[in-house]
Chains A and B, each alone.
Chain A
Amino acid sequence: MSSVPLSVYLVLALILFCIGLFGALTKRNAVIVLISIELMLNAVNINLIAFAKYGINPSITGQIFSLFTITVAAAEAAVGLAILIALYRNRKTVNVDEMDIMKR
């Protein structure tokens, strides 16, 4: 039906994943870091869905897996933000560079 080959989806997912990883490792704002992690997890979803349709053995399992991934990613984001809020209340900062009180 569609003429877009599998490799295009995979490359898109890989690019998204790399952007996410880059953001998570370099950004100073903690919220952006959490968003970058979400980006990485969404890259996984693209992979799973693409494989579920165009993979070597296409099957519905990939879509099911992506549902689980989405759910768990939401839980993880919620916990991450809650921890960030607790941190912000005590430190009045969301800057990752300033979270270095333990050992310098």
Chain B
Amino acid sequence: MTLEKLLSYDWGIMAPEFTILIVATLLSLMDLFMPNKTSRKPLALLGIAGVIIAIVFSVLQIGTEPTSILFDTYRFDAFALAFKLLFLVATGLILLLAIDYEGEREWEFRGEFFYLLLTALLGAMMMASSADLITLFVGLELLSISSYILAGIRKNNLHSNEAAFKYVVNGGIATAITLFGMSYIYGLTGSTNLYEISEALTNPAVEQNAFLLVMAFVMLLVGLAFKIAAAPFHMWAPDVYQGSATPVTAFLSVVSKSAGFALILKMFLITFLSVQGWHNAIILELQPYIAVIAGVTMVVGNVVALRQRNIKRMFAYSSIAHAGYVLVPFVSLSLLVFKMTWFYLLAYLLMNIGAFAVIQFVTEKERSEDFTAFSGLYKRAPWVAVMMAVFILSLAGLPFTAGFIGKFGIFMSSLGTGHYVLASVMIATTVISYVYYFNILVQIFFRKGEVDRLLPSIGLLIVMIICGAGTIFFGIYPGAAYDFFQEFDMNELFIK
């Protein structure tokens, strides 16, 4: 490749990625040269500044024509941009959480956390906008490997060690399975570019080997189901979520999961949508199986959450259940699949990070992760208690919250495409979820606990206010988000 060719690329479309990359590099260098016993917390502020700059770049890019550079391995389109914005906002909020995380001894002097969070974000962003199996894989691994270390970053904590090891082993197996599926797809098509694959898969030679294609599809689905923690591949989630530091748990449950969904939508909708199986399009033939995964995920997540006492474990199962809800639009595959998924992920981002901010606040003050730590919270910190109530009502899907609008949209789209069983499973499991969500509310408002007043620190307060305001605003006026989403033309995804 000559220099002219390299310089002729439109590098400007990668501005958000470059910003994050530069800030992450800068943070790692600063961490290296800072004296040993200096607090690393200011690094987070720089990280937040970087994320904000990247958000500004991304917003300025809205409406840009789809472009691809680097031999079509990196592709900028509206789909990628919409998801990147979600990742950036979520990571910014999580960095704010991390500033106030107390952790254990020496935590304050460890800077790795902040730049690993940014590299993980970079991986997620690359996943959203790559158009080639190789870059998809590298992005996925950048996200995964960074999160393995993040999960184990409290290296003197037994729970954290164990969580990280379980995550590495499960994640490694999932990666291997995904890659094995990818290798079959490469073998059948001779290309790693998603768009070339979708063309090559219509080749008659592929149809003779339909079993290989189905195997590849199933293996990809299994590998990615690990990533979004869908049943029956969810077993790692509760342990990893419980053992990790709270900001890391928030990151895994929001950014990592959303990135998994972006990858699933992108990979399956670009490559498999037009491919013939035995009788029908392959994605329609395999739809019942995905529907079963979605249904089982909702049931398992919500039912097992009922008997959890550890609050982070309970939220791990709750996030499994939410993965089930978000899979529903993918199963029903209406024209609104992107809109529904995106809006739900936005609502989930706001309510879940908000809830984790409160969880971090309470578990740190109480030094306990048992859900009785919340008892009497209303007496001790009334505004925090009200915020938590908003997040929990939204997670449970009650009206006037963003969670309700998201869930309602998903429910209607599944009814509209005739998936009545899935829709009823969704309603039934939502009702089950009320039990454990309201249990927390009972603890907060009706149980007696300590009486001393608690005050959240400034970072937590900002996160709670942003998330709370967002949850209520999008609950009452979802049109704002939908109008914003209209700016993104999802058809760009399918135009080569």
The A9-65 residues at the B interface (CB cut-off 8 A) are: 13, 17, 20-21, 24-25, 30, 33-34, 37, 40-41, 43-44, 47-48, 50-51, 55-59, 61-62, 64-65
A44-B176, A65-B186 known; A87+B165 contact, CB < 8 A: yes
| A69 / chain B contacts, CB cutoff of 8 Å | 137, 179
A20 to B173, CA, bound (A): 9
Question: Does A101 lie within 8 Å of B159, measured CB to CB?
Answer: yes
A48 to B190, CA, bound (A): 10
Q: A22: shortest Cβ distance to chain B, in Å?
A: 11
| A75 / chain B contacts, CB cutoff of 8 Å | 141, 145
Question: Does B168 lie within 8 Å of A76, measured CB to CB?
Answer: yes
Q: A60: shortest Cβ distance to chain B, in Å?
A: 10
A61 to B158, CA, bound (A): 43
Question: Does B239 lie within 8 Å of A102, measured CB to CB?
Answer: yes
The B156-187 residues at the A interface (CB cut-off 8 A) are: 156, 158-159, 161-166, 168-169, 172-173, 175-177, 179-180, 182-184, 186-187
| B180 / chain A contacts, CB cutoff of 8 Å | 17, 40, 43-44, 47
Q: B493: shortest Cβ distance to chain A, in Å?
A: 22
Question: Does A37 lie within 8 Å of B184, measured CB to CB?
Answer: no
| B190 / chain A contacts, CB cutoff of 8 Å | 51, 55-59, 61
Q: A20: shortest Cβ distance to chain B, in Å?
A: 7
A76 to B188, CA, bound (A): 28
Identify which of B137, B161, B183, B313 contacts A51 (C-beta below 8 A).
Answer: B183
| B188 / chain A contacts, CB cutoff of 8 Å | 55-56
Closest 9 CB pairs of A and B: A57-B190, A51-B187, A40-B176, A47-B183, A37-B172, A87-B161, A44-B179, A80-B168, A83-B164
Q: A80-B169, A102-B163 known; 9 other A-B pairs, CB under 8 Å?
A: A17-B176, A48-B187, A50-B187, A51-B187, A51-B190, A68-B137, A91-B161, A101-B162, A102-B162
Interface residues of A (CB under 8 A from B): 13, 17, 20-21, 24-25, 30, 33-34, 37, 40-41, 43-44, 47-48, 50-51, 55-59, 61-62, 64-65, 68-69, 72, 75-76, 79-80, 82-84, 86-87, 90-91, 99, 101-103
What are 9 A-B pairs at a CB distance below 8 A?
A25-B173, A37-B169, A41-B175, A44-B183, A56-B203, A87-B165, A102-B239, A103-B238, A103-B239
